[in-house]
Structure 1
Amino acid sequence: MSQGNNIKVVARFRPQNSLEISEGGKPIIDIIEDHAVIIKNEESLGPFSFDRAFGMDTSQEVLYNYSVKQTLEDVFNGYNGTVFAYGQTGSGKTFTMMGSDIDDKKLKGITPRIVEGIFNTILESPPSVEYIVKVSYIEIYMEKVKDLLNPINDNLPLHEEKNRGVYVKGLMEIFVSSVDEVYDVMKQGGKSRVVAHTSITL
């Protein structure tokens, strides 16, 4: 069992997209023993060390099982859990977090897998335990917090209270009772996101 305070820092490298391939681009990343990364260029940067580095052929399932599955278990043991994806535009954050198709067993990303893990755990829990699941969906863009479920609220304030901690004031929360209901909320909120799509040929 995890102690609930573990932080994993991982790097994932997406495959080249069709434009990069057509223009003769070549990968310049070497992964050493699954945790160190060297950038092959004139400056020879690196190595950069991570808890784990995932190459271009890494499946969504392998990434989830190593990086996030334990965090979900920690949440049900009473700890807060956070998954933070960082990278420049076009680096593959959306593909990693959402996947190219949330209904596809192979291509769905981390977020759909977390949702399924939550409800599977609830179903396996004793009937005497009651859960309440609420979903909210925000985007932080140009230093503004936007409620993707109620896009008219595009500059919501952050607040902090002793009992509640840090929260977004005025954020819409939707009660859900199944994976499909969460997917519907995700699809609704996804229509309001600001994205720069990366075309990836798999």
Structure 2
Amino acid sequence: MSSAVKVYLRARPTNGAAESFRVGEDNRTVSVSLKRTEQGLINNSADAIQFEFDTILHDASQESVFTQCAAEVCESVLAGYNGTVFAYGQTGAGKTYTMSGDAGSDYKQRGVIPRAVHHLFREMDVRVGKDITLSVSYLEIYNEGMYDLLADEIVPDSDLVVVDRDGEMEVKHLTKKKCRDEAEALRFFLRRRA
């Protein structure tokens, strides 16, 4: 896996945005049309803004999102590298659905996190003779605050500090739980505090 950051756009199907949101034929660019409301004066602002991503996942299934965005990161983690997959966007954009899935729905709707846990433990089982330990942490960043979602008690935001240790970023005092199997890891995930 390359060390470069990859950026994916997952666009939810919407009725109202169809005329202002266009995905390019390369499936890597999106053009957003801007409605002009000014009248009379010369305006040099753009009519549309174009953005480029590694891949655009438009109407993508949960399985497709995992395969394209997280499976390679899981393989790198098993090879001993650090890996991060995170979702960013405004409230209601679908971050929780993408990362967690729909708990009340069928197995196909599970998100990136439960799929990654399954993938990691399945691969650990076939790598006989290798000493692999899996620990999980669950951190939420919201409104410029950090929240430890696995802590037994509420941890003050001021106790969670990002530190740089020889080029390695770490959140100090973040709860880490060792997991023996997939079921235990998923229990920690499902137990998270709201």
TM-score, normalized by length of structure 2? Answer: 0.81
- Looking at structure 1, the residues matched to 162 and 33 of structure 2 have their Cα atoms a distance apart, in angstroms, of 45
Q: Is the 8 A contact 1:102 1:112 kept in 2?
A: no
CA displacement, residues 131-175 of structure 1 (integer Å, 9 cap, x when unaligned): 211112122233332221224213123253647933233222222
1:83 alignment partner AA? V
- Looking at structure 2, the residues matched to 164 and 101 of structure 1 have their Cα atoms a distance apart, in angstroms, of 37
Tell me if 1:71 matches 2:90.
no
* Structure-2 residue corresponding to 1:49: 52
* Structure-1 residue corresponding to 2:108: 106
Tell me if 1:89 matches 2:87.
no
Could you say what the CA RMSD is over the residues aligned between the two structures, in angstroms? 2.3
* Structure-2 residue corresponding to 1:167: 170
CA displacement, residues 91-128 of structure 1 (integer Å, 9 cap, x when unaligned): 111111111128733211111111111101101102x2
1:13 alignment partner AA? A
> How many residues end up aligned between the 2 structures?
180
Question: Counterpart of 1:171 in 2: which secondary structure?
Answer: coil
In the TM superposition, residue 130 of structure 1 has moved relative to its aligned partner by 1.7
State the identity as a percent.
Answer: 32
Q: Is the 8 A contact 1:133 1:177 kept in 2?
A: yes
2:13 alignment partner AA? P
Tell me if 1:29 matches 2:32.
no
Unaligned runs of 5+ in 2: 37-46
* Higher CA-based Rg: 2
With a CA cutoff of 8 Å and minimum separation of 6, indicate the structure with the bigger relative contact order.
1
Runs (4+) off by over 6 Å: none
Q: Is the 8 A contact 1:134 1:173 kept in 2?
A: yes
Unaligned runs of 5+ in 1: 193-202
TM-score, normalized by length of structure 1? Answer: 0.79
In the TM superposition, residue 41 of structure 1 has moved relative to its aligned partner by 4.1
